Amino acid sequence: MSEVKISAETRSEFGKGAARRIRREDKVPGVLYGHGSDPLHLTLPGHELLLALRTPNVLIALDIDGKTNELAIPKSVQRDPIKGFLEHVDLQLVQRGETVSVEIYVQTEGELAPGGNLLEHVLNALPVEAEATHIPESVTVSVQGLEAGASILAKDIPLPAGTKLGVDGDTVVLQVLAAQAEESEGEGAEGEGAEA
């Protein structure tokens, strides 16, 4: 995983008014915490941060006030519910070689067995533990030929080297549900016949 370098400034103003002023300047208020240190309140460039957050679990190399360099991963991102712009970000301080708990997206490939069955993502993201500088963006699982009633457990998903499951191996991640439409149409026809 590549690092994204972002310059940040420490901030001493807090509250809604200060946050609004920061956002009007196309910047985002944030907090950096971790390793038992006091939370550090930051102002980050909005556009650069938005681009960085397009990569899941991105590793951000922060240049703070041109004096300090820190590595961090995003832990919580708040967006405006209507316009979608960034309102606030929480960043967790990490170190090279450190193991962190994150969630990675589960992607699927292949076609289910014929019959109109549905694939349900019980977990859209899989909790894992990985080295901070080698967090995988996602995992891909084949659902080729799976029939109704089939399920894929967390332990069945191939993980990249150095990544461990953060949940019980028997946790259901994906399952195939039987198509319901035909059954309900059949019941409706029987009901109409009975009424007639």
Residue type, 129: E
pLDDT at residue 181, rounded to an integer? 55
- Residue among 30, 43, 41 nearest 73 (CA): 30
Helix, strand or coil for residue 154?
helix
Q: Are 73 and 128 a contacting pair, CB within 8 Å?
A: no
DSSP secondary structure string, 37-94? EEEEEEEEEHHHHHHHTTSTT-EEEEEETTTEEEEEEEEEEEE-TTT--EEEEEEEEE
Nearest to 106 by CA among 128, 116, 121: 121
Residue 59 has a CB neighbour count (10 Å cut-off) of 21
User: Which tokens go with 1?
Assistant: 């995983």
| Calpha distance 193→187 (Å, rounded) | 10
pLDDT, tens only, 125-136: 999 999 988 888
Please identify which residue in the block is written with the tokens 């008014």.
Answer: 17
Q: Is 21 in a helix, a strand, or coil?
A: helix
88-147 residue pLDDT tens = 899 999 988 889 999 999 999 998 888 888 999 999 899 999 998 888 888 999 999 888
Q: What is the pLDDT of residues 44-83, one digit of tens each?
A: 998 898 888 888 888 999 998 887 889 999 988 888 888 7
Nearest to 1 by CA among 73, 101, 51: 73
* pTM of this prediction exceeds 0.85: no
